[in-house]
Amino acid sequence: MQNQHTAVLGMQWGDEGKGKIVDHLAHDHQVIVRYQGGTNAGHTVVVGKKKFPLHLIPSGILYPEKTCVIGDGVVVNPLVLAEELEALDKRVGKRATLLIGSKAQLIMPWHIVRDGITGKKIGTTGRGIGPTYTDATARVGIRVMDLASKLRFSTMVAQYAVYNRELIEGLLRYYQIKPTAAEKTKIEQALTVDDIVRKYTDAWEKLKAFGIAAVDTSQTLDEADRAGKRILYEGAQATLLDITHGDYPFVTSSHPTVGGLFIGSGFRPRELTVIGVLKAYATRVGEGPFPTELTNRTGEILRERGHEYGTTTGRPRRCGWLDLVVGEYAVRINGVDGIAMTKLDILSGMKKLQLALAYRKGKVVMTRYPADQAVLEKVESQYVNMNGWRDDMTNKARAFSDLPKAAQKYVELVEEYLTVPVKYIGVGPGREELVRR
């Protein structure tokens, strides 16, 4: 009998509430693994009055007896990780053990500069994610293991700083950007070898002092599996942001979809339950298609009630109705076994609700998410109308039967349309504010 492992991943465009669900499921898992993405992620865990925004650290970190792993598929900025861990350790007495994959790629200062130039039209988070994955694929990346020897690390930094100077100058010419004096200074800093080597090795020493170790995570996960432990995979970003299966080019540069977890963790396929996190409405940060977007007052209401501002960049999130064309796509691509529907409480008090079940372009009705951006831009969503509900659920509802009847109907419609059970329902940001079925 194989151990039952679990994956939690986003079914829309990110910020579905993956952090909260991972924190909940971490209870009965022993190892929690991030497998892709990097500091672009912002996962929030709320315990009592305390809010923990996590970027690189897996959302199981608050349980002292667990092991958290930053897998080889994650792109790591050691400066940000050291800051994040320091801030966390000041707030919590004990936390989980944290390990990093030695094969994980490092986000370097020049990646952040390049992202600032090439990421504008996508509306990236500006954290250097795309350029780091680009360099990994082009085989000119620096990895966590390279930090182990200062000589090896500084030789690589010196070599790639030259390469990146050429690249950045070329990009500035191509995009016809004339940097200001302040921007020029920033670029120079991002290419200054001694400075980078000092900052990165200092951060690495700091991380080691915090008890972080670079390991072969495939071995860690293999040993955990053999010892009968359960692994919880924590996806960052979401299905529609997948580099291959998302709204290319308005995507991130990794694989948030289920396939990404095998590569990014280095652990072989095993018995796996996939929990897809689906917000009760839809949001998107950055550019790209969004067929159910509400650019009116209703969209503003959703943004204000749902506090829809980015955890990482603070940008206002675009808001819209729940889109089950997107939902069907995410179920199909990831093999979702159960849905965690979050933020249902945010819809309380809305008189009428709408859910998209199809798109229409001219006379053509589509129930499958189209891959072509030119088509997506022109589609009109076809909605079903639902009655809203008034009652508060955050403080009252802990069982499905506690939910207002109209809210139950909303959940059941999603289940029926997607033919996947909704196993968890978020009724508030806090750890306990969850309905389990």
Could you give the CA distance from residue 272 to residue 335 in angstroms, rounded to a whole number? 10
End-to-end CA distance of the chain: 25
Using rule CB under 6 A, residue 36 touches ligand GDP: no
Using rule CB under 6 A, residue 24 touches ligand GDP: no
Contacts of 386 (CB under 8 A, 6+ apart): 352, 353, 354, 355, 406, 409, 410, 413
Using rule CB under 6 A, residue 129 touches ligand IMO: yes
Question: In this chain, which stretch among 81-89, 162-170, 225-233, 427-435 interacts with ligand GDP, using CB under 6 A?
Answer: 427-435
Using rule CB under 6 A, residue 18 touches ligand GDP: yes
3-state helix/strand/coil string of 310-328: CCCCCCECEEECEEHHHHH
Size of the chain, expressed as the number of residues it contains = 437
In whole angstroms, how far apart are CA 202 and each of 80, 150, 158, 329? 12, 11, 17, 44
- Of these, 24, 43, 284, 318, which contacts ligand GDP (CB under 6 A)? 43
Q: Does residue 15 carry a catalytic annotation? A: yes
Using rule CB under 6 A, residue 132 touches ligand IMO: no
Q: Respond yes or no on whether the N-terminal peptide bond of residue 109 is cis (omega within 30° of 0).
A: no
3 state SS of 192: coil
Partner from Mg ion, ligand GDP, ligand IMO, none binding residue 123, C-beta < 5-8 Å depending on class: ligand IMO
In whole angstroms, how far apart are CA 206 and each of 98, 171, 209, 214? 13, 34, 5, 13
Q: Which of 126, 134, 131, 141 is nearest to 40 (CA)?
A: 126
Measured from the CB of residue 342, what is the shortest distance to ligand GDP in angstroms? Answer: 4
Measured from the CB of residue 359, what is the shortest distance to ligand GDP in angstroms? Answer: 25
List the structure tokens of 240. 């529609």
User: By C-beta, is 11 or 379 nearer to ligand GDP?
Assistant: 11
Using rule CB under 6 A, residue 242 touches ligand GDP: no
- Of these, 7, 25, 32, 46, which contacts ligand GDP (CB under 6 A)? 46
Using rule CB under 6 A, residue 130 touches ligand IMO: yes
Using rule CB under 6 A, residue 241 touches ligand IMO: yes
Measured from the CB of residue 399, what is the shortest distance to ligand IMO in angstroms? Answer: 28
Using rule CB under 6 A, residue 235 touches ligand GDP: no
Using rule CB under 6 A, residue 42 touches ligand GDP: yes
Partner from ligand GDP, ligand IMO, Mg ion, none binding residue 130, C-beta < 5-8 Å depending on class: ligand IMO
Could you give the CA distance from residue 93 to residue 323 in angstroms, rounded to a whole number? 41
- Of these, 17, 37, 38, 101, which contacts ligand GDP (CB under 6 A)? 17
Residue nearest to ligand GDP (CB): 426
- Of these, 15, 72, 84, 323, which contacts ligand GDP (CB under 6 A)? 15
Could you give the CA distance from residue 54 to residue 45 in angstroms, rounded to a whole number? 8
279 and 12 in contact (C-beta within 8 Å)? yes
- Of these, 6, 36, 311, 334, which contacts ligand GDP (CB under 6 A)? 311
Using rule CB under 6 A, residue 95 touches ligand IMO: no
List the structure tokens of 148. 């182990």
What is the DSSP track for 375-427? HHTT-EEEEEEEE---S--TTT-SSGGGS-HHHHHHHHHHHHHHTS-EEEEE-
What is the DSSP track for 63-86? -TTSEEEE-TTSEE-HHHHHHHHH
Q: Does residue 43 carry a catalytic annotation? A: yes
Q: How many residues bind ligand IMO (CB under 6 A)?
A: 26
Residues at the contact surface with Mg ion, assessed by CB under 5 A: 15, 42, 311
Q: Which residues bind ligand GDP (CB under 6 A)?
A: 10, 14-20, 42-44, 46, 311, 342-343, 345-346, 426-429
> Which residues are known catalytic residues?
15, 43
Q: Which residues bind ligand IMO (CB under 6 A)?
A: 10, 13-15, 37, 40-43, 119, 122-125, 127, 129-130, 236-238, 241, 252-253, 285-286, 311
